[in-house]
Protein backbone atom coordinates (compact mmCIF):
# COMPACT_ATOMS: atom_id res chain seq x y z
CA UNK A 1 0.00 0.00 0.00
CA UNK A 2 1.24 3.53 -0.77
CA UNK A 3 2.62 5.55 2.15
CA UNK A 4 -0.08 8.11 3.20
CA UNK A 5 2.40 10.99 2.91
CA UNK A 6 4.79 10.34 0.13
CA UNK A 7 6.71 13.25 -1.35
CA UNK A 8 8.24 13.48 -4.82
CA UNK A 9 10.99 16.12 -5.03
CA UNK A 10 12.09 17.23 -8.49
CA UNK A 11 15.72 17.97 -7.71
CA UNK A 12 19.14 18.63 -9.15
CA UNK A 13 19.92 21.52 -6.76
CA UNK A 14 21.58 21.81 -3.36
CA UNK A 15 18.26 23.03 -1.88
CA UNK A 16 16.49 19.92 -3.16
CA UNK A 17 19.16 17.77 -1.50
CA UNK A 18 18.87 19.66 1.77
CA UNK A 19 15.08 19.36 1.66
CA UNK A 20 15.24 15.62 1.02
CA UNK A 21 17.56 15.18 4.01
CA UNK A 22 15.23 17.25 6.17
CA UNK A 23 12.09 15.35 5.18
CA UNK A 24 13.75 11.94 5.51
CA UNK A 25 14.86 12.97 9.02
CA UNK A 26 11.21 13.82 9.72
CA UNK A 27 10.22 10.28 8.90
CA UNK A 28 8.44 11.12 5.64
CA UNK A 29 8.59 8.89 2.59
CA UNK A 30 10.73 10.83 0.09
CA UNK A 31 11.75 10.18 -3.50
CA UNK A 32 14.07 12.60 -5.30
CA UNK A 33 14.11 12.76 -9.07
CA UNK A 34 17.21 13.79 -11.01
CA UNK A 35 17.39 14.45 -14.75
CA UNK A 36 20.66 12.55 -15.11
CA UNK A 37 22.55 15.44 -16.72
CA UNK A 38 25.75 15.12 -14.67
CA UNK A 39 27.88 11.97 -14.73
CA UNK A 40 28.46 11.75 -10.96
CA UNK A 41 25.59 13.56 -9.20
CA UNK A 42 25.70 14.16 -5.46
CA UNK A 43 22.82 11.96 -4.31
CA UNK A 44 20.24 13.07 -1.75
CA UNK A 45 19.01 10.97 1.15
CA UNK A 46 15.94 8.85 0.61
CA UNK A 47 14.95 7.11 -2.61
CA UNK A 48 16.39 8.45 -5.85
CA UNK A 49 15.24 7.91 -9.44
CA UNK A 50 17.11 9.24 -12.45
CA UNK A 51 15.94 10.26 -15.95
CA UNK A 52 13.04 12.04 -17.64
CA UNK A 53 9.40 11.02 -17.16
CA UNK A 54 8.26 11.55 -20.73
CA UNK A 55 6.63 14.98 -20.52
CA UNK A 56 3.64 16.17 -18.50
CA UNK A 57 1.64 12.98 -19.02
CA UNK A 58 4.60 10.82 -18.00
CA UNK A 59 5.13 12.79 -14.80
CA UNK A 60 1.39 12.71 -14.01
CA UNK A 61 1.37 8.92 -14.49
CA UNK A 62 4.48 8.55 -12.30
CA UNK A 63 2.82 10.59 -9.53
CA UNK A 64 -0.36 8.53 -9.69
CA UNK A 65 1.10 5.05 -10.00
CA UNK A 66 3.76 5.83 -7.39
CA UNK A 67 1.06 6.78 -4.87
CA UNK A 68 2.60 10.19 -4.17
CA UNK A 69 0.65 12.63 -1.99
CA UNK A 70 2.73 15.79 -2.64
CA UNK A 71 5.05 17.21 -5.26
CA UNK A 72 7.89 19.69 -4.64
CA UNK A 73 9.51 21.32 -7.66
CA UNK A 74 12.94 22.18 -6.29
CA UNK A 75 14.64 22.29 -9.69
CA UNK A 76 17.01 25.03 -10.80
CA UNK A 77 15.40 28.40 -11.70
CA UNK A 78 16.52 27.89 -15.35
CA UNK A 79 15.02 24.39 -15.67
CA UNK A 80 11.89 25.87 -17.26
CA UNK A 81 10.54 22.77 -18.98
CA UNK A 82 10.41 20.51 -15.94
CA UNK A 83 8.88 23.33 -13.87
CA UNK A 84 6.11 23.76 -16.47
CA UNK A 85 5.64 19.98 -16.54
CA UNK A 86 5.35 19.93 -12.73
CA UNK A 87 2.48 22.43 -12.79
CA UNK A 88 0.69 20.52 -15.59
CA UNK A 89 1.20 17.09 -14.03
CA UNK A 90 0.12 18.27 -10.59
CA UNK A 91 -3.19 19.44 -12.12
CA UNK A 92 -3.73 16.21 -14.09
CA UNK A 93 -2.84 13.91 -11.18
CA UNK A 94 -4.64 16.19 -8.68
CA UNK A 95 -1.62 16.13 -6.40
CA UNK A 96 -0.77 19.40 -4.63
CA UNK A 97 2.59 20.99 -5.39
CA UNK A 98 4.87 23.79 -4.28
CA UNK A 99 7.89 25.30 -5.97
CA UNK A 100 11.05 25.87 -3.93
CA UNK A 101 13.04 28.57 -5.67
CA UNK A 102 16.13 30.43 -4.52
CA UNK A 103 15.84 34.22 -4.49
CA UNK A 104 17.69 35.83 -7.39
CA UNK A 105 20.92 37.73 -6.79
CA UNK A 106 20.52 41.50 -6.61
CA UNK A 107 22.82 43.80 -8.53
CA UNK A 108 25.17 45.39 -5.96
CA UNK A 109 25.10 49.18 -5.82
CA UNK A 110 27.50 50.61 -8.41
CA UNK A 111 28.39 47.22 -9.95
CA UNK A 112 29.19 46.95 -13.67
CA UNK A 113 26.38 44.48 -14.25
CA UNK A 114 23.98 44.40 -17.20
CA UNK A 115 20.98 42.15 -17.80
CA UNK A 116 20.38 40.03 -20.92
CA UNK A 117 17.04 38.40 -21.77
CA UNK A 118 18.60 35.16 -22.96
CA UNK A 119 21.88 33.57 -24.07
CA UNK A 120 21.66 35.03 -27.59
CA UNK A 121 21.29 38.51 -26.12
CA UNK A 122 24.23 37.88 -23.77
CA UNK A 123 26.38 36.76 -26.73
CA UNK A 124 25.35 39.90 -28.63
CA UNK A 125 26.24 42.15 -25.69
CA UNK A 126 29.92 41.14 -25.66
CA UNK A 127 32.29 43.71 -27.16
CA UNK A 128 34.79 42.59 -29.81
CA UNK A 129 37.98 41.25 -28.20
CA UNK A 130 36.39 40.40 -24.83
CA UNK A 131 37.95 37.70 -22.64
CA UNK A 132 34.87 35.93 -21.38
CA UNK A 133 34.23 33.56 -18.50
CA UNK A 134 31.03 31.55 -19.07
CA UNK A 135 29.46 30.01 -15.96
CA UNK A 136 26.19 28.99 -17.61
CA UNK A 137 26.58 25.21 -17.59
CA UNK A 138 27.29 23.19 -20.71
CA UNK A 139 23.90 22.98 -22.41
CA UNK A 140 23.78 26.46 -23.92
CA UNK A 141 27.43 27.25 -24.70
CA UNK A 142 26.71 27.00 -28.44
CA UNK A 143 24.96 30.40 -28.24
CA UNK A 144 28.49 31.87 -28.06
CA UNK A 145 30.14 29.83 -30.82
CA UNK A 146 29.56 32.61 -33.38
CA UNK A 147 31.61 35.13 -31.37
CA UNK A 148 34.92 34.18 -32.95
CA UNK A 149 36.17 37.70 -32.15
CA UNK A 150 36.16 36.93 -28.39
CA UNK A 151 38.11 34.47 -26.26
CA UNK A 152 36.14 32.07 -24.04
CA UNK A 153 36.77 30.16 -20.86
CA UNK A 154 33.80 27.91 -19.97
CA UNK A 155 33.55 26.52 -16.46
CA UNK A 156 31.43 23.37 -16.39
CA UNK A 157 30.81 20.32 -14.22
CA UNK A 158 30.96 17.95 -17.21
CA UNK A 159 32.47 19.07 -20.56
CA UNK A 160 30.10 19.95 -23.43
CA UNK A 161 30.08 17.61 -26.46
CA UNK A 162 32.16 20.10 -28.40
CA UNK A 163 33.53 23.62 -28.23
CA UNK A 164 35.31 25.61 -30.94
CA UNK A 165 39.11 25.48 -31.22
CA UNK A 166 40.74 27.97 -28.92
CA UNK A 167 38.14 27.72 -26.14
CA UNK A 168 39.38 26.80 -22.66
CA UNK A 169 37.35 24.41 -20.52
CA UNK A 170 37.69 24.48 -16.75
CA UNK A 171 35.89 21.61 -15.03
CA UNK A 172 34.83 21.75 -11.41
CA UNK A 173 31.85 21.65 -9.09
CA UNK A 174 31.22 24.57 -6.72
CA UNK A 175 31.09 26.08 -4.25
CA UNK A 176 34.22 28.05 -5.13
CA UNK A 177 36.05 30.32 -2.69
CA UNK A 178 36.34 34.04 -3.43
CA UNK A 179 40.15 33.87 -3.70
CA UNK A 180 39.92 31.00 -6.20
CA UNK A 181 37.42 32.97 -8.29
CA UNK A 182 39.70 36.02 -8.20
CA UNK A 183 42.68 34.00 -9.38
CA UNK A 184 40.63 32.35 -12.17
CA UNK A 185 39.65 35.82 -13.45
CA UNK A 186 43.23 37.03 -13.19
CA UNK A 187 44.81 33.91 -14.76
CA UNK A 188 42.69 34.26 -17.90
CA UNK A 189 42.65 38.09 -17.95
CA UNK A 190 38.84 37.93 -17.92
CA UNK A 191 37.04 41.13 -18.91
CA UNK A 192 33.42 39.78 -18.95
CA UNK A 193 31.54 37.20 -16.89
CA UNK A 194 28.34 35.68 -18.33
CA UNK A 195 26.23 34.09 -15.62
CA UNK A 196 22.74 32.82 -14.97
CA UNK A 197 20.99 34.47 -12.03
CA UNK A 198 20.97 31.20 -10.12
CA UNK A 199 20.84 32.84 -6.69
CA UNK A 200 22.03 31.28 -3.44
CA UNK A 201 25.18 31.74 -1.41
CA UNK A 202 27.12 28.88 -3.02
CA UNK A 203 27.57 30.50 -6.45
CA UNK A 204 27.94 34.10 -5.31
CA UNK A 205 31.74 34.25 -5.05
CA UNK A 206 32.23 34.63 -8.82
CA UNK A 207 30.03 37.75 -8.80
CA UNK A 208 31.84 39.23 -5.82
CA UNK A 209 35.15 38.49 -7.53
CA UNK A 210 33.98 40.04 -10.82
CA UNK A 211 32.48 43.13 -9.19
CA UNK A 212 35.68 43.59 -7.15
CA UNK A 213 37.98 43.27 -10.19
CA UNK A 214 36.33 45.54 -12.75
CA UNK A 215 34.97 42.58 -14.75
CA UNK A 216 31.62 43.35 -16.38
CA UNK A 217 28.84 40.93 -15.41
CA UNK A 218 26.31 40.00 -18.10
CA UNK A 219 23.46 38.41 -16.18
CA UNK A 220 21.05 36.26 -18.17
CA UNK A 221 17.57 36.76 -16.73
CA UNK A 222 15.53 33.90 -15.30
CA UNK A 223 12.77 32.38 -17.41
CA UNK A 224 9.26 33.11 -16.09
CA UNK A 225 7.87 29.97 -14.45
CA UNK A 226 4.12 29.16 -14.71
CA UNK A 227 2.04 30.24 -11.70
CA UNK A 228 2.35 27.93 -8.69
CA UNK A 229 2.57 28.33 -4.95
CA UNK A 230 6.21 29.26 -4.38
CA UNK A 231 8.53 29.56 -1.43
CA UNK A 232 12.18 30.55 -1.24
CA UNK A 233 13.02 28.48 1.84
CA UNK A 234 12.97 24.92 3.11
CA UNK A 235 11.01 26.25 6.10
CA UNK A 236 8.35 27.41 3.63
CA UNK A 237 8.04 23.89 2.24
CA UNK A 238 7.75 22.49 5.76
CA UNK A 239 5.01 25.02 6.58
CA UNK A 240 3.12 24.02 3.44
CA UNK A 241 3.43 20.32 4.23
CA UNK A 242 2.21 20.99 7.78
CA UNK A 243 -0.82 22.85 6.34
CA UNK A 244 -1.37 19.83 4.14
CA UNK A 245 -1.45 17.59 7.21
CA UNK A 246 2.03 16.10 6.88
CA UNK A 247 3.69 15.60 10.21
CA UNK A 248 7.21 17.01 9.82
CA UNK A 249 9.35 17.51 12.90
CA UNK A 250 10.69 21.08 12.65
CA UNK A 251 14.29 21.62 13.74
CA UNK A 252 15.55 25.06 14.75
CA UNK A 253 17.95 25.03 11.75
CA UNK A 254 15.09 24.36 9.31
CA UNK A 255 12.96 27.12 10.82
CA UNK A 256 15.77 29.55 10.09
CA UNK A 257 16.39 28.17 6.56
Nearer to ligand NAP, 13 or 216 (CB): 13
CB of 32 to ligand NAP, least distance (A): 8
CB of 192 to ligand NAP, least distance (A): 19
Nearer to ligand NAP, 107 or 222 (CB): 222
CB of 135 to ligand NAP, least distance (A): 10
Nearer to ligand NAP, 182 or 193 (CB): 193
With contact defined as beta carbons under 8 Å apart, do 98 and 224 qualify? no
CB of 115 to ligand NAP, least distance (A): 17
Find the residue with minimal CB distance to ligand NAP.
52
Nearer to ligand NAP, 5 or 83 (CB): 83
| Interatomic CA distance for residues 85 and 95, integer angstroms | 13
Nearer to ligand NAP, 106 or 158 (CB): 158
The residues that touch ligand NAP, with contacts defined as CB under 6 A, are 10-13, 33-35, 37, 52-55, 58-59, 75-76, 78-82, 85, 137, 196
CB of 220 to ligand NAP, least distance (A): 10
Main-chain phi, psi angles of 69, to 5 degrees: -100, -25
Amino acid sequence: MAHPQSILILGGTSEARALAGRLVASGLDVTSSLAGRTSAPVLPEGRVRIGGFGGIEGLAAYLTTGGFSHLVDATHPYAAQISANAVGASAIAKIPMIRLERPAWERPEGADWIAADDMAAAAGALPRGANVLLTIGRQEVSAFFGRTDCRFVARVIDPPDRVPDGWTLVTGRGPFALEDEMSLLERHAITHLVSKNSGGEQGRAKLDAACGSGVQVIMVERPMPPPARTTTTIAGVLDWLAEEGCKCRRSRAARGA
